[in-house]
């Protein structure tokens, strides 16, 4: 199972998203079950942080959230930071961030 803590998206010191995962995370995030082997998320507390956790190995997981403020990278650098971990040794898998102008596109996202 993988764990993800959404940190922040920064551009020249502007914070566009900082979402510490909590018990109400699902009201702010859109999840997708586009694949017949889609899995669901739950949360786990580790130290002072709460993380999203995948519930079943070898499944497809997709979650998205709109930024608090629309971001632009025109003429400025854009840095994206997040934390992920996998407490298991697995042969395949990955964590990806895809930025879209419209969070509704998550429904159609097949990654």
SS (H, E, C) the chain: CCEEEEEEEEECCEEEEECCCCCCHHHCCEECCCCCCECCEEEEEECCEEEEEECCCCCECCEECCCCCCCCCCCCCCEEEEEEECCCCCCCCCCCCCCCCCHHHHHHCCC
Q: What is the pLDDT of residue 102?
A: 66
| Residues paired with residue 79 on neighbouring β-strands, in sequence order | 10
Tens digits of per-residue pLDDT, 33-45? 778 888 889 998 9
pLDDT of residue 105: 63
What are the pLDDT digits (tens) for 6-43?
444 443 467 788 888 888 999 988 887 778 888 889 99
Report the mean per-residue pLDDT for the chain: 75
């Amino acid at each position: 199972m993988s764990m993800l803590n959404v940190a922040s998206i920064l551009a020249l010191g502007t914070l566009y998203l900082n979402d510490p995962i909590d018990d109400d995370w699902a009201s702010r995030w859109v999840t997708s079950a586009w694949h017949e082997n889609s899995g669901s998320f739950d949360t786990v507390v580790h130290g002072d942080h709460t993380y999203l956790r995948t519930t079943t190995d070898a499944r497809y997981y997709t979650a998205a959230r709109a930024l608090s403020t629309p971001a632009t990278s025109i003429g400025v650098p854009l840095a994206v930071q997040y934390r992920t971990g996998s407490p298991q040794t697995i042969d395949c898998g990955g964590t990806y961030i895809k930025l879209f102008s419209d969070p509704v596109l998550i429904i159609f996202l097949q990654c």
